[in-house]
Amino acid sequence: MLKEKHCRLLAGNRKLSKSDKMQIKNFGNAGIKVTQMIGSFANAAGGYDKVGFLKKDVHNQIARQRKEMSSDAKGAVRYLIDLRVIDPLMLVAHTVGADGTLQNLFWSDGESQKNYELFSDVLAFDATYKKNKYRCPFVVFSGVNHHNQTIIFATAIVSNEVEGTYVWLLEQFLVAMKGKTPLSVITDGDVAMRNAIRKVFPNSYHRLCAWHLLRNAISNISNPNFIPVFKKLMLGDHDVWKFESLWNEMLDRFGLEDNNWINELYQKRKMWATAHIRGNFFAGIRTTSRCEAFHSHMGQFVHSKMNMTDFVKQFHRCVAYFRFREVQADFESQYGQAVLHTNLRALERSASKHWTKEIFEMVRSVMKKVTLTSVLDIQDMASVTIYAVTKYRDEGHGWRVSHCPSNNDFRCSCLRMESIGIPCEHIVAVMVYLNIVEFPENLVLNRWSLYAKESISGSYEDGSHYWDSHLVARHATLVNLSKEVADLSYMDVDDYKKYLEYLTNELCRLKSKYNNEDVPDNIHVEEELVNILNPSCSRSKGCGPGTVGTSERPRRTQTCGICGAAGHNRRCCPTLGADGEPPADSSLQSASVRLSNDYGFSV
């Protein structure tokens, strides 16, 4: 009754094989859209008419896969707990509200914990929004590795951003990191974050994000000439006394002595002014821009309509990509030899052997400044020698570099080595003056060196392989190999019968082994979970004092376009005449009614 090309579209003739279902699941885990999935199936089958199913069948299959879990939130927690099969160090913690909804979810995998053992000196964290359909804030605890790349220590999804929530997150962070606190913490100016850090990390130096401070300065100080002066004062490498002098000059110039925001900012100067922060290690990080960059990159993997389970899976794909970038950076740092650019060839060659490629570039830029630096004075002390160093034609301001010949130790008054971890041009100038051709060990910080991760190398080789990537790779390998065997054997009858019999016997053996189950029993970890319900849609900071979202606002009452009254429209308005025309003063009457309804007075 139907043409052959239409028969394929009947519901009874559209079927998804087990292999097709597995492929759809793999495509979904990789973040591939349904339209692209259908295109891939059509390309492999030789046309859309030969696929055997439609786009809506793929949507239905994805919906069935998502409904396998009792709830979206429970599925996300289950997925993280099941990762303990391949990651015994995986830590997962969550809290549930009185109504059974998920409140907070925290997790940290083994590789993140191993990285924290080496790079725990600096911790930055920030919250981002609109990354899941529940609008729950997403918090990432990040740091920086020996390639100056962003690395992830822990992750959390929270329902609100109150102080108690951040205290709970930081306590879970300490549990995951075996009680090791960071030396320095960088956040924005959120009060809840600041109070939580003060309670949980009392010995950590807390720095405020410079970018957020500049943005707040723009909104609180209307004078546009203020911003460049404030920025130079905040980021300038000044002594404390010089900072205080410049601060007073700035207040006098712009008349800000009585400004409340300026006075509150001055009280927190030890959290943002470089003059007060110098000497505390921050790895050169002054803003939370690394967190913002990571959040931006996550936009390629997640979106605001993604459910909780898919969000967690796609986040691990994003983290795996970042970890692969570290593998690439290791290769680029260890393969080949650096091309020398400066005249200090011996020192530059020594630097290339100690630091990673990214850090070596930073050290080389420092070495290029040495030609503009000179040693003016030398003072011999009992055990050290102090060198007065200044820039070219800047004799009014200088730095003091101390050198201890017994252990070849260098220290500079600029404290850049203590703050960033790489030697400053003042120290390098003294090394050139002393004709030293090798960087001493005390100037090569282990966290920036080529061999920073030697202590944990080999202890966590499979840490970055998530979302069942090993299983996906095995399945794809067998599928491709089977296709090649089929392409080469189906033309010859003897080969066809031989492989058909062999595959049939193997299929019977495998079905008998696994009792017709999809996967072996040891794939999942069984752990009892309460019935975790999906979280409620959260309200982020800065969205206003209202209690309902834009979709829940009361609708405006529809009024008549002639008389302005409610309950009817202009087609059935009682003021219409016998000819169906409105009265001459209808416009004035309509305006009067509208003003009375909207503002409470009449014209």
Taking each helix axis from N to C end, the angle separating 55-66 and 18-29, rounded to the nearest 10 degrees, works out to: 70
Kindly state the average pLDDT of the residues 229-255. Answer: 90
Residue 528 to residue 81: CA distance in whole angstroms: 10
* Per-residue confidence (pLDDT) for residue 252, from 0 to 100: 93
* Per-residue confidence (pLDDT) for residue 467, from 0 to 100: 41
3-state class of 46 per DSSP? coil
Band (137; pLDDT cuts 50, 70, 90):
confident
Q: Count Cβ atoms below 10 Å from residue 589 Cβ, excluding itself.
A: 17
| pLDDT > 90: percent of the chain | 31
pLDDT tens-digit profile of 578-590?
556 666 555 545 5
Q: Which string of DSSP letters, residue by residue, matches 417-439? A: HHHHSS--HHHHHHHHHTT--S-
Residue type, 299: G
pLDDT tens-digit profile of 167-191?
999 999 999 999 999 999 999 888 8
* Per-residue confidence (pLDDT) for residue 524, from 0 to 100: 42
Residue 387 to residue 491: CA distance in whole angstroms: 85
pLDDT tens-digit profile of 346-404?
999 999 999 999 999 999 999 999 988 888 889 988 889 999 998 876 766 788 999 99
Instruction: Give, in order, the Cα–Cα distances in Å from 390 to each of 365, 377, 395.
Output: 18, 10, 6
Band (66; pLDDT cuts 50, 70, 90):
low
Beta bridge partners of 449: 355
Residue 486 has pLDDT above 90, yes or no: no
User: Which of 101-105, 354-358, 480-484 shows the lowest per-residue confidence on average (mean pLDDT)?
Assistant: 480-484
| Residues constituting the chain | 603
* Per-residue confidence (pLDDT) for residue 401, from 0 to 100: 93
Taking each helix axis from N to C end, the angle separating 163-176 and 191-200, rounded to the nearest 10 degrees, works out to: 40
Band (542; pLDDT cuts 50, 70, 90):
low
* Per-residue confidence (pLDDT) for residue 424, from 0 to 100: 92
Residue 346 to residue 343: CA distance in whole angstroms: 9
Residue 568 has pLDDT above 80, yes or no: no
Residue 161 to residue 589: CA distance in whole angstroms: 51
What stretches of 459-536 show up as alpha helix (H) in DSSP? 469-489, 493-514
Output 276 or 524, whichever has higher pLDDT.
Answer: 276
Token pair of 354 as six digits: 């100690």
Start-to-end Cα distance in the chain: 73
Contact between residue 428 and residue 443 where contact means Cβ atoms under 8 Å apart = no
Residue 11 has pLDDT above 80, yes or no: no
Q: Shortest CA distance to 341 belongs to which of 375, 370, 365?
A: 365
Convert 145-159 into a string of H (helix), E (strand) and C (coil): CCCCCEEEEEEEEEC
Q: Count Cβ atoms below 10 Å from residue 233 Cβ, excluding itself.
A: 19
| pLDDT > 70: percent of the chain | 81
Band (203; pLDDT cuts 50, 70, 90):
very high
Residue 427 to residue 421: CA distance in whole angstroms: 13
* Per-residue confidence (pLDDT) for residue 534, from 0 to 100: 72
Residue 452 to residue 146: CA distance in whole angstroms: 7
Mean pLDDT for all residues in the chain: 81
Residue 318 to residue 322: CA distance in whole angstroms: 6
Residue 529 has pLDDT above 50, yes or no: yes
Q: Is the pTM of this model over 0.85?
A: no
Output 226 or 459, whichever has higher pLDDT.
Answer: 226
Kindly state the average pLDDT of the residues 29-57. Answer: 80
Q: Shortest CA distance to 316 belongs to which of 584, 573, 83?
A: 83
DSSP class of residue 553 equals: S
pLDDT tens-digit profile of 92-101?
999 888 888 8
Output 267 or 568, whichever has higher pLDDT.
Answer: 267
* Per-residue confidence (pLDDT) for residue 333, from 0 to 100: 87
Question: Given its phi and psi angles, is residue 237 left (phi above 0), alpha (psi -120 to 50 degrees) or beta?
Answer: beta
pLDDT tens-digit profile of 432-477?
999 999 999 889 999 999 888 887 776 655 544 444 444 555 666 7
* Per-residue confidence (pLDDT) for residue 67, from 0 to 100: 65
